[in-house]
Amino acid sequence: MRVHSIAILIAAAVVSVSAQAPPGAWTQFRGSSPLLGTTDATLPPTLKLLWTYDAGDAIESSAAIADGVVYVGSQTGELHAVNLSDGSTKWKYKASPDGIGESSPAVAGGLVYIGDLSGTVHAVNAATGKAAWTFTTDGEVKSSPVVTGDTVLVGSYDSHLYALAAKTGALQWKVKTDGYVHATPSVVDGVAYITGCDEILRGIRVRDGRQLFTLSSGAYTGASPAISNGRAFYGTYENEVLAVDLKTHRIVWRYRHPERNFPFYSSAALSGGRVFVGGRDKLMHALDAVSGKEAWSFQTGARIDSSPALSSGRGYVGSNDGKLYVFDASSGKVVQQFDAGGPLSASPAIAAGRLVIGSQDGKLFCLG
């Protein structure tokens, strides 16, 4: 019985291949709706800079890649569409004079969705760069849209999670929380899981907005939850990473570094039975998904707000020290560093043999 139970736990920790981003696209924040941060795409053993694009101001938005085009927002208030092949501009869409912050594009059904710091959600025609519709909330939108079926889910600093009709932007429902909705919802089997600045993890049914459960995380949470086989994994501002059983609605384990107590703002990636997450302690952590025990960590020169991406046994993450780190997922050994010259708080996007990441000095880099 004991061996059987262990086997079940290990199986629960393994990421489903079908939930990863496909090789040719990275259509939303973290690559797929469970927010796993993993992909079937492969990258060269040694990355080389292929092109650089100047967005004109800071890029905190993480890129999306679809049909050979990169989409990313910047503090200029523009959504940029850039050709993946050579970094040339396809089009620019002016969203807001207040800028686009951490909201990252989602691409589906010929439209690109993004939120801005004036509180507006935009749907833009992917081919032409023209507005299809807009929807205005009463607070900043730093949450990234997630498209599931014919619904777009996105959070706002007005304390609501919104469900909008993907084609028209019509309000389907909204759920009020007790704090800013900063994080991006993870969607699995028709349920949206959202962490909150109100310290609550919520499960909300997508079809009608019914709240299925709430669980106190015990801390303000800016990170988005990664979901795999019935568990949610995310970090908090109370310097912990949590694993939550979504059936029993209980916290299975908590990880806290024994010496370096700093918040976790980076969203976790799941691969090979491990949880990979950056910390404001300047460390990149790998934790056992079953037990929560640390497998390894390595130190960068500044805090890590960037969320790691995993591909073919390697991880990729930016640091505010201005470097992109490439590491072996098994050992934690850093195998390459790319110096971007400016802080990298955005997260890598990987597709079609290329990696794209933006910097706070306004540069978008493509490596492959």
Q: Residue 266: what pLDDT? A: 98
**pLDDT tens digits, 164-215:** 999 999 999 999 999 999 999 999 999 999 999 999 999 999 999 999 999 9
Q: In which residue are the tokens 């028709």 written? A: 190
Mean pLDDT of the chain: 94
pLDDT of residue 229: 85
Strand partners, 200: 216
Residue 96 has pLDDT above 80, yes or no: yes
Closest Cα to residue 84, out of 145, 32, 43, 24? 24
Q: What does pTM read for this prediction?
A: 0.94
Name the pairing type of β-strands 186-188 and 171-176. Answer: unpaired
Q: In Å, what is the CA distance from 65 to each residue of 27, 79, 191, 356?
A: 6, 13, 25, 9
- Percentage of the chain exceeding pLDDT 90: 94
Q: Which pair of structure tokens corresponds to residue 185?
A: 């919802």
Task: Read off the pLDDT of each residue in 112-139 and give the average, rounded to a whole number.
Answer: 98
Instruction: Say which residues have a Cβ less than 8 Å from residue 189's Cβ, sequence separation at least 6.
Output: none
pLDDT in tens, 149-169: 999 999 999 999 999 999 999
Burial class of 233 by CB neighbour count within 10 A (0 to 12, 13 to 18, 19+): buried
